[in-house]
A and B are shown apart, each in its own frame.
Chain A
Amino acid sequence: MDGLRSTGLPNPNLTWEKMSILNLGLDFSLYKSKLYGEFDGFYRKRDGIPATRATSLPSTFGANLPSENLNSTIDRGFEALIGTRGNKGNFLWDISGNVSWSRAKWDHFEEPDYSNDAEMERVYQISGQWTDRIMGYKTDGLYTSQEEIDAMTFDQDQQGNITIKPGDIKYIDHNKDGVLDWKDRVEIGNGSLPHWMFGLTTVFSYKNFDLSLLFQGAAGNHVSVQLPWCEQLFTGRWTEENNDPNAIFPRSGSIAQGGGFSDFYLKEAGYFRLKTLNLGYNLPKNLLNFAKIGNLRISFSATNLFTFDRLKEFGLDPEAPGTEGQYYSNNAFFYPQQRTYTFGLTLTL
């Protein structure tokens, strides 16, 4: 049964965020477009992002503080494109590659003052850190025998390891103080948005043949693999029969230790893929004239012909969208990328 409750302290001074952007760009085209390109760099500061001072006031204060314009981030990044096009006799080409990089840092994040505890500062301080930094435990595969558990030199479950069984994750006592706790957390990866994105577009033609390829890729991001009940989980998990320290999932019923996230499930999600391929052939004019048809083109195209990535054993696609959060993602429900082959015949009378 609720009674009357205070709405908290007001802040009449709350205002918009401010943003300042520094942008530098260059477009060029040389030697009659034989070499062309673009370069664009930016540095953007967002100031006055609303946050409450609650985190810097002790929990004993007992009230929520109003939002104030406190936080700020700095984004920085660049995009570059370079290409060449031209011909040598009947051989025509247009090749261009682009690459971009961007990342943001917390310039100021409203949080407790950690300056008197270096460990706290290392593990918890957000100001001055990349916004997508993920802290967690390092792991080293799975335990495969009770002997291995008995021989452990540190207390992984804070209970003398009595709850650890073969098939559980082998954590690393990073600071070697004999117990697994928050002090063992280190930077284990980044969020799900790639820092690097790149693409390569190539178009060639020689006489009546033409070929175009589009490659794309991304790097510098991680995905937290959390699968629903699925075949990969069933076949890939640790069992007594599959006593593999590198099984992709621990034994069923295994409990995450240390009250936190580990790199066991955090995988690099960078990839490189041939997105599309088009190959075509136009029948020669003289042949067409003879047959009295306007144009006849035979073509073949394909999408997603090959991908280099590290997520195949989980059945995940690196391009699948994820839920952005500190620890991101379950992208197993995404409608899968498809590989398609198309053969075409275009006839113009």
Chain B
Amino acid sequence: MKKVINIFLMMTLMVLSSCNKDVLDKNPLDIISDDVVWNDPILIDAYLTQCYSEIGFINDMAYGSGTTWFEAVTLTTVADECRDGWERAYAGKSIKLRADSKNFADWWGYPTIRKLNVFIEKLPDSPVEESFKTKRGAEARFLRAYAYFNMVKRYGGIPLITKAQSIDAPEEELFPKRDKEETIYDFIIFEVDAIANDLKDGQNDEGRPTKYAALALKSRVAMYAGSIAKYGEVQLDGVVGIPANKAQQYWQTSYDASNSIINSDVFSLYNEIPDDKAANFRNIFLDENNAEVIFSEIYTGQGGKAHSWDMLNGPYGYNSWACGGQSIPYLDMVEEFENIDGSAGIIDRLKIESGYLWTMEELFGNKDPRFHASILTQGSTWIGDTIQAYKGIIKEDGTITEDDYNELTGWGKSTQSWAGGSGPFMMLKYMDEAIAIVPNIGTSRTDWIVFRYAEILLNLAEAAFELGYTTEALDAINQIRDRAGIAQLTSIDLDKIRHERKIELAFEGNRYWDVRRWRTAEVDLSKSFSMLRFIIDYQTRKFKLEILPNWDGLPVPLFYPRHYYMPITLDRTNNNPNLIENPGY
């Protein structure tokens, strides 16, 4: 009997001791182990979601600065489109690019590239379904190509790293040299070709890239490479710049990619409201996933994924926290919009100087409907109200006051910003009137379009023209002008193509990169832009105009040739001597 008890005791002890072992060796509840992630499609998706969010399509500014708040609106303010209403650090444009500090649009996305490399390496061994692996793998390669595009358009050639480096990798691998600029462009084009058919063949895939998104990326990327080859200069043995004899090949690649999208007949220019061209154009950006959208970043609004476009860019006086009027289109930009008949939209300076009193109808009534769809100004309608953007009142005796006068306030409601920078023009593109009074930042729910069909037509026109197919270029531009509701062109040249691109894609984050790749930024961004002032005549309610020159202040910002490439910066050249700095820094 005693023996039995002893055995029983021993057994109990053994059980207890094995129990104890389990108690100490628990799986953590707040982190998920590596093995688990790659076995579960939901966790694989969560991993990729993080990578999508790090790309930050809407926010083509500094890497890691978040996708939702202020940065969402700033790229137009470093171009010749708008002034930053709050005059923050990067207002002043190019002067902030230097080798010993981080600039406003620094995007060194290697942490994201590493994550994607890990993903691309781990996924093939995962036990999940084969078709799921193929598709997600292709998405990851799309994102990686997009990330490299984000970098090559800033820095030129950079180290091309396509596998997750191990910490004990050989030194040549850990301390890479910069690859040539054309190597990076070729890599992106190669990747896009390799994955396009693994992505969904359809008009949209709910925020994931489709086959056509891949082609659209190819169309844009090859066009960038073509213009750099043609207009740029090869330096540092091709680390920046592309040999001129490659230009033709890249134009052709872009042209072919654009044609594949056009010939698929999946997309068309949005024309749901043909009798009101301005309303139609506005709706491209509000009617989500319409037939013009090739790829967009999905936003759901407060509580989900949100941005702040409405809060920051809405007309001042209608949002909470005294926000709005953040991006102020320059008068120069306003005048770029032609009249419906195709004549130039320049306001008669002599008439202004003569003190003439204008009605808004006389001033802007004949302008390109895209002007009324892209810009709000004095007299525009906004959530049932009329925008007041004048500064000053002409009294009956002819004197001008900026104080309140009878029932009129000295300054219009939308020019009273405490920020002091608000102007008479406000951005309207992407603005969602349905939100009405925007309660806070991070409440916008409008999808951000990364690629749309009109851009493909513009890419086609540019590549076709560079290849000498002028009729095709003219036809593509005229399709866009027809949809916009302005006069057709009868002849085409490069300036007209670039001008159309500036107007059609205004405020969409393209202009800054366009003037860089065309190498025209030295002229286009080395300027001081002007602004218009409306002074309301008390009796007639017409407006006297005044032109305010040098609205960015003096000295005039200068874009030097070295700024076509952003500096790698000292931190990075320091810890890897093989990374040479870009010329001029």
Interface residue ranges, A against B (CB under 8 Å): 1-7, 9, 55-63, 65, 112-114, 116-117, 120, 124, 157-159, 162-163, 181-182, 258-260
In the complex the two chains form, is A62's CB within 8 Å of B110's CB?
Answer: yes
Contact in complex: A4, B46 (CB < 8 Å)? yes
The answer to whether A4 and B47 have CB atoms under 8 Å apart is yes
Query: 5 shortest A-B CB distances, which residue pairs?
Result: A62-B114, A3-B50, A3-B49, A58-B576, A62-B110
Please list 20 pairs of residues, one from A and one from B, whose beta carbons are closer than 8 Å in the complex, sorted by A's number.
A1-B305, A2-B49, A3-B45, A3-B46, A3-B49, A6-B115, A59-B110, A59-B575, A61-B110, A61-B167, A61-B174, A62-B164, A65-B167, A114-B574, A158-B98, A162-B555, A162-B558, A181-B98, A182-B570, A259-B98
Within 8 Å by CB of B575, from A112, A116, A258, lies A112
> Does B51 belong to the interface (CB within 8 Å)?
yes
Q: Indicate whether B99 reaches chain A with its CB closer than 8 angstroms.
A: yes
Within 8 A of A (CB), among B134-170: 159, 161, 164-165, 167
Bound Cα distance A126, B337 (Å): 56
Q: Are B99 and A181 in contact (CB under 8 A)?
A: yes
Taking CB atoms, residues of chain A closer than 8 Å to B111 are 62-63
Distance to closest chain B CB from A1 (angstroms): 4
How far is A55 from B576 in the complex, measured between Cα atoms in Å? 10
Judge whether B101 and A259 touch: CB under 8 Å.
Answer: yes
Give bound CA distance, A65 to B114, whole Å.
13
Query: Knowing A1-B53, A162-B555, A259-B100 touch, does A116 contact B577 (C-beta < 8 A)?
Result: yes
Indicate if the CB atoms of A57 and B174 lie closer than 8 Å: yes
Q: Which chain B residues border A163 with CB–CB below 8 Å?
A: 95, 555
A55 touches B100 (CB 8 A): no
Q: Roughly how many angstroms separate A162 CA and B576 CA in the complex, as a whole number?
A: 34
Q: Is B376 part of the contact surface with A, judged by Cβ < 8 Å?
A: no
Contacts of A157 in B (CB 8 A): 95
Are A182 and B100 neighbours in the complex by a CB distance under 8 Å? Answer: yes
User: A4 and B572: CB pair below 8 A?
Assistant: no
B579–A4 CB distance below 8 A: no
Which chain A residues lie closer than 8 Å to B118 at the CB level? 6
Interchain CB contact under 8 A, A120 and B574:
yes
Q: Quick check: is B32 within 8 A (CB to CB) of the other chain? A: yes
Most buried by B among A2, A58, A63, A159: A58
Cβ–Cβ contact A181 & B95, under 8 A: no
A63 neighbours in B (Cβ, 8 Å): 111, 114
Interface residue B37 (Cβ < 8 Å from any Cβ of A): yes
Q: Which residues of A contact B113 (CB under 8 A)?
A: 62
A55 contacts across to B, CB distance below 8 A: 575
Is B48 close to A, CB under 8 A? yes
Chain A nearest Cβ from B436, distance in angstroms? 25
Which chain B residues in 31-49 approach chain A with CB under 8 Å? 31-32, 37, 43, 45-49
* Best-surrounded residue of B37, B176, B570 (most CB of chain A within 10 A): B570
A3-B48 in contact given A58-B175, A61-B174 (Cβ < 8 Å): yes
Q: Does residue B398 face the partner (Cβ distance < 8 Å to A)?
A: no
Besides A62-B113, A162-B555, 18 more A-B contacts (Cβ < 8 Å) are: A3-B49, A3-B52, A4-B46, A55-B575, A57-B167, A58-B175, A59-B108, A59-B110, A59-B571, A61-B114, A62-B110, A62-B112, A112-B576, A120-B574, A158-B98, A159-B95, A162-B558, A181-B99
A57 CB, nearest partner CB in chain B, Å: 7
How far, in angstroms, from A6 to B122 measured CA to CA in the complex? 14
Q: Is B468 an interface residue (CB 8 A)?
A: no
Q: Are B51 and A3 in contact (CB under 8 A)?
A: yes
- Does A58 lie within 8 Å of B572, measured CB to CB? yes
CB neighbours of A60 from chain B (8 A): 110, 159, 161, 176, 576, 579
Verify B305–A59 contact, CB threshold 8 A.
no
Q: A3-B50, A116-B577, A159-B558 are in contact. Are A61 and B165 (CB under 8 A)?
A: yes
Query: Is A112 touching B574 in the complex (CB atoms < 8 A)?
Result: yes
Name the B residues within 8 Å of A181 (CB-CB).
98-100
A252, chain B: closest CB distance, angstroms = 15
Interface residues of B in 330-385 (CB under 8 A from A): none
Return chain B residues, CB-CB under 8 Å to A61: 110, 114, 165, 167, 174
Query: Which of B52, B304, B575, B576 is the most central at the interface, judged by chain A CB atoms within 10 Å of its CB?
Result: B575
**A124 near B574 (CB under 8 angstroms)?**
yes
CB-defined contacts of A116 to chain B, threshold 8 Å: 577
Assembly CA distance A55 to B165 (angstroms)? 16
Residue of B nearest to A1 (CB): B305
Chain A hits for B575, CB < 8 A: 55-59, 112
- Cα distance A124–B556 in the bound complex, in angstroms: 34
Q: A63-B111, A182-B100 are in contact. Are A3 and B47 (CB under 8 A)?
A: yes
- A157 and B555 alpha carbons, distance in the complex (Å): 12
A173→B53 CA distance, assembly (Å)? 44
Contact with A along B292-318 (1 / 0, CB 8 A): 000000000000110000000000000
Please measure, in the bound complex, the distance between the C-alpha atom of A3 and the C-alpha atom of B43, giving whole angstroms: 9
**Who on chain B is nearest to A7 by CB?**
B31
Measured between beta carbons, the chain B residues less than 8 angstroms from A259 are 98, 100-101
Residues of B within 8 A of A9 (CB): 167
Q: How close is A12's CB to chain B, nearest CB, in angstroms? A: 14
- Which residue of chain B has the shortest Cβ distance to A62 in the bound complex? B114
In the assembled complex, which residues on chain B have CB atoms less than 8 Å from the CB atom of A65?
A: 167
CA distance A201 to B43 in the complex (A): 71
| A4 with B53: CB separation less than 8 A | no
* A7 to B33 CA separation, bound complex (whole angstroms): 10
Residues of chain B lying within 8 A (CB to CB) of residue A7 = 31
Judge whether A59 and B572 touch: CB under 8 Å: yes
When C-beta atoms are compared, the residue in chain A nearest to B158 turns out to be A60
Within 8 A of A (CB), among B534-585: 555-556, 558, 560, 570-572, 574-577, 579
Q: Are B114 and A260 in contact (CB under 8 A)?
A: no
B53 — which chain A residues lie within 8 A by C-beta?
Answer: 1-3
State whether B49 touches A1 (Cβ < 8 A). yes
Closest to A182 in B: B100
Q: Which residues in A have their C-beta under 8 angstroms from that of B100?
A: 181-182, 258-260
**Which residue of chain A has its CB nearest to the CB of B112?**
A62
Cross-interface CB contact of B579 among A1, A58, A113, A260, cutoff 8 Å: A58
Considering the chains assembled together, what is the distance between the CA atoms of A113 and B112 in angstroms?
A: 26
Kindly provide the distance from the CB of B179 to the nearest chain A CB, expressed in whole angstroms.
11
Q: Which residues of B contact A114 (CB under 8 A)?
A: 574
What distance in Å separates the Cβ of A255 from its nearest Cβ neighbour in chain B? 10
Q: Which residues of A contact B174 (CB under 8 A)?
A: 57-58, 61
Judge whether A2 and B50 touch: CB under 8 Å. yes
**Residue-wise interface mask of B (266-289) relative to A, using a CB-CB cutoff of 8 A (1 in contact, 0 not):** 000000000000000000000000
Q: Which residue of chain A lies nearest to B575 when distances are taken between CB atoms in the complex? A: A112
**What 1/0 mask marks residues of chain B from 108 to 127 whose CB sits below 8 Å from any chain A CB?**
10111111011000000000
- Complex alpha-carbon distance, A1 and B300, angstroms: 11
Interface string of B218-243 (1 = CB under 8 A from A): 00000000000000000000000000
Complex CA distance for A258 and B98, rounded to whole angstroms:
9
Name the residue of chain A whose CB is nearest to the CB of B161: A60
**B31: which A residues are within 8 A, CB to CB?**
7
CB distance from B421 to the nearest CB of A (A): 16
Which of A3, A114, A259 has the largest count of B CB atoms less than 10 A from its CB?
Answer: A3
Q: Pick the contact of B43 from A1, A2, A4 — CB < 8 Å? A: A4
Distance A163 CA – B43 CA, assembled complex (angstroms): 53
| Cross-chain contact A117 with B577 (CB below 8 angstroms) | yes
What's the least CB distance linking B136 to chain A, in Å?
13
Least Cβ distance of B54 to chain A in Å?
9
Neighbouring B residues of A260 by C-beta, 8 Å = 100
Report Cα–Cα, A9/B164, bound state, in Å.
13
A112 to B577 alpha-carbon distance, docked (Å): 9
Q: Mark B436-480, 1 if CB is under 8 A from A, else 0.
A: 000000000000000000000000000000000000000000000
